[in-house]
Amino acid sequence: MHPVVSTIFQRLALGLLTLFFVSIIIFCALLLLPGDFGQAVLGQAATEATVAAYRAELGLDKPAYLRYFEWMSGAIVGDFGTSFSGRAASGVDRSRPVLELIAPRLSNTLFLASVAAVIAVPLSLFLGITAALYRNSIYDRIVNATTLTTISFPEFFVAYILILMLATIFPIFPSLPNISDDMALSEKLYRITLPAMTLTLVIVAHMMRMTRAAIINLLASPYIEMARLKGVSRSRIILKHALPNAWAPIAAVIAFNLAYLVVGVVVVEAVFAYPGIGQLMVDAVTSRDIPVVQACALILGATYILLNLLADVIGIITNPRLLHPR
């Protein structure tokens, strides 16, 4: 088997193993959450027998290991169970399948993350390449200072500053990005401007600095010096010689930040009350809706692992030592 193919299969196996351990961590973390759904629904005045009977109806009285295997066996085939929300103590069941709750929210989250990625990736590549091209210039210093400033603040702080400046003092964009499927694309983009801007400012700095560092490192290579001696223009050296050899580290950092973008969107959605999977998970934690929390956390974890695996695969494919083994 070719070294590239065997290495990719090894990474995929490692990703599945990682996801297995992540599922265990998610399940155990939920066991440690204070409070109980049955007690929250029935109230403090409910007797222990009533709470126990209600817990048995929900399946919460089963051993932890049995509940875990039931959850995972369903998740493998795409069945995340039924939400606790909507179940009343009277026995009336108005609950919905977890997947039915998550699907529209996940679509909104991916839309927001995609918009932020479409802006952040080209912008970070442009800033990183131009900063490397004009290294130690005033432009380079301004770009570095600006990106260091934005990366130093947490997402919620950046979000609140943008809300203050662009939604309160200067009411240009809405602070509550309520979107729906029947909206036009332009209206959706207008409403999610502030959360998309927040995510862009948070992730663009890391990608820009890694791109700049990779280009500067390659500019010191002997073949780059030879190209300069031959009179090749600086822009051609960057685009034709340095950038193709820098794709492996750049692609890795882009994939890593895209993974962070999907997972870190939880904080931004909570600040802006955006109807995404992050806000759904926060609401589910508050109401102790265990099936929804488990599904949201597992999907976010799987997305993070998948994008990191993508970065590994890109690095493997662009590695000449694997492409041309001796």
Domain housing 160: 111-287
* 292: in domain: no
The predicted-structure confidence for 32-77, as pLDDT tens digits, reads as follows 877 666 666 666 666 777 777 777 777 777 888 888 998 899 888 8
- Where residue 86 falls among pLDDT bands split at 50, 70, 90? low
pLDDT class of 94 with cuts at 50, 70, 90: low
Distance in angstroms (rounded) separating the CA atoms of residues 126 and 243: 12
Judge whether 269 lies within some domain: yes
The overall pTM is greater than 0.75: yes
Beta-bridged to residue 82, according to DSSP, are 97
| pLDDT recorded at residue 319 | 61
Residue 261 lies in a domain: yes
Q: Would you say residue 156 lies in a domain?
A: yes
Q: Is 140 domain-assigned?
A: yes
Is residue 169 one of the residues assigned to a domain? Answer: yes
Q: What is the CATH number of the domain that holds 183?
A: 1.10.3720.10
- Split at pLDDT 50, 70, 90, the class of 6 is confident
Rounded to an integer, the average pLDDT of 106-134 is 89
Please tell me the total count of domains within the chain: 1
How many Cβ atoms from other residues are within 10 Å of residue 13's Cβ? 10
- Decide which of 170 and 289 is more confident: 170
The answer to whether residue 21 scores a pLDDT higher than 90 is yes
CB neighbours of 248 closer than 8 A, spacing ≥ 6? 314, 315, 318, 319
Q: Is residue 272 part of a domain?
A: yes
Q: Is 132 part of a structural domain of the chain?
A: yes
